[in-house]
Every structure is written in C-alpha cells, then in structure tokens.
Amino acid sequence: MDPSDFTRGMAAVPGPVTVATTVTGAGARSGFTASSFVSVSLDPPLVLLCIDQGASTYQAFADADRFLVNVLAEGQEAVALRFATSGIDRFAAGDMRPCEGGLPGLPEAALRVSCTRHALVGAGDHGILVGRVEEIRDGRRPPLVYHRRSFTRPAPLPRPEEQLLSALHLTDW
Ligand SMILES: Cc1cc2nc3c(=O)[nH]c(=O)nc-3n(C[C@H](O)[C@H](O)[C@H](O)COP(=O)(O)O)c2cc1C
C-alpha cells in the first residue's frame, strides 16, 4: 500500500490530542504529543499509546515505570505543537507542573491519566505502550480533537441520536 494513502486515510479518523510525559531515572523530563491514546481493558484498567521507535523520546518511555497522559483541552493547540517539535526544550515554557506521581502535567488539561507500565509491545516501526491506569483527574474541560491534520472540537449531536444510545444501553461507551 502507498504510505501516503495510509496516512491520508487514517487522518480521516478523528483522535484525541494528548501529551504523554515521564521522567527518566536520571531525572530528565520527557514528553511527546500523541493522538494514538485509547482505552484497552476494564479489568485491569488499561490504556495504550503508540510511540515511534525512532523518536527522541522512545527510550525514555520504553524504560519508564510510570507515565502521565495529559488529554489536551480546547485552547491548548500550541502545547500540542510544541510537544511534537523536534530539537527544542519542550518544557521550557514552564506550563508543566509536577502532578500525579510527580510527573509533569498540565493543570488545565481536559483530563490527566496516570499510568504504571503494563507492557511494551513492538508493532512495526512503533511500540505499543500499555499502561495500567492508577488515577484519573477529570478537569471537565472540552477536549481538543485531531482530524484531517487539523485541530477541531467535538460537535454535539442533536437529541434523537443521544436518545438512541441510551435506548441501546450504550451510555458507558
Ligand atoms: C497531533 C499529533 C499527534 C501525534 N501522535 C503521535 C503518536 O501517537 N505517536 C507518535 O509516536 N508520535 C506522534 N506524533 C509525533 C510526535 O509528537 C513527535 O513529533 C515525533 O515523535 C518526533 O519527535 P522527536 O523529534 O522527539 O523524534 C504526533 C504529532 C502530532 C502533531
């Protein structure tokens, strides 16, 4: 398959915008923007992130006992871009504070999901980092959405669709 057909096609699938952070054994902060964040299992509570094995942050996350996923809120587009930019100090802006487990977090994130390492599975040129969720802090702010290489926001459905979900007992999903 043509790689550009793959990336263009998958860009049509909307995803969250997160910044995952960790701290290395030597005390260095590390973080990257990730839209590959998704829940995996309820019992135990597991989530995953996919990380490029060629990324500068790969080793820090591959070695991490803990990591923190900051789900970005509307208005945090600049944070997403900064944590995706190569060759800069992504923490220099000073907007990250020690949060759950002492890991760098955004006080104004839509949500923070604090994880301990469950597994790291190789998958092609990426690693699937599976975390066990230890704590969730819900800032109850509207989340950012990444769709067709642009930042956007969720659009509420008109009421009939909402009622259909509740009739199907799918409100947990
Ligand atoms: C919206 C957005 C989502 C991204 N999602 C991921 C992702 O899920 N996994 C990943 O490895 N890189 C993702 N990236 C790219 C990384 O944030 C980063 O740019 C890349 O790892 C290069 O970093 P490096 O200079 O540290 O090697 C995403 C970038 C953007 C802008």
Q: For residue range 119-136, what is the model confidence (pLDDT) as tens digits?
A: 999 999 999 999 999 999
Query: CA-CA distances (angstroms) from residue 102 to 21, 108, 145, 146, 147?
Result: 11, 16, 27, 28, 32
For residue 157, the model assigns a pLDDT of 78
For residue 131, the model assigns a pLDDT of 98
Q: Are 100 and 112 in contact (CB under 8 A)?
A: yes
167 pLDDT more than 80: no
86 pLDDT more than 80: yes
* Tokens matching residue 103: 């890991």
For residue 169, the model assigns a pLDDT of 67
| pTM for this entry | 0.94
Q: Where are the domains of the chain?
A: 3-170
57: Cβ below 6 Å to ligand 1? yes
For residue 158, the model assigns a pLDDT of 74
For residue 156, the model assigns a pLDDT of 80
Query: CA-CA distances (angstroms) from residue 173 to 122, 166, 168, 169?
Result: 28, 10, 11, 9
Nearest CA to ligand 1 atom 5: 34
Kind of pairing, strands 97-98 and 29-34? unpaired
Give the DSSP letter string of 21-63: EEE-TTS-EEEEEES--EEEETTTTEEEEEEETTSTTHHHHHS
128: Cβ below 6 Å to ligand 1? no
50: Cβ below 6 Å to ligand 1? yes
Query: How much distance in Å is there from the Cα of 5 to the middle of ligand 1?
Result: 19
Tell me which of 24-38, 49-63, 152-166 is least confident: 152-166
| Cα gap 45→111, rounded to integer Å | 16
Residue 83, SS3? coil
Q: Are 115 and 66 in contact (CB under 8 A)?
A: yes
**Residues 11-53: pLDDT tens digits?**
999 999 999 999 999 999 999 999 999 999 999 999 999 999 9
Q: What is the residue-averaged pLDDT of the chain?
A: 94
8 pLDDT more than 80: yes
Query: Among residues of the chain, what percentage have pLDDT more than 90?
Result: 89
80 pLDDT more than 80: yes
Kind plus residue range of the DSSP H or E element containing 161:
helix 159-167
CATH topology of domain 3-170: Pnp Oxidase; Chain A (2.30.110)
Query: Which residues fall within 8 angstroms of residue 35, CB to CB, at 6 or more apart?
Result: 15, 16, 17, 18, 146
For residue 155, the model assigns a pLDDT of 87
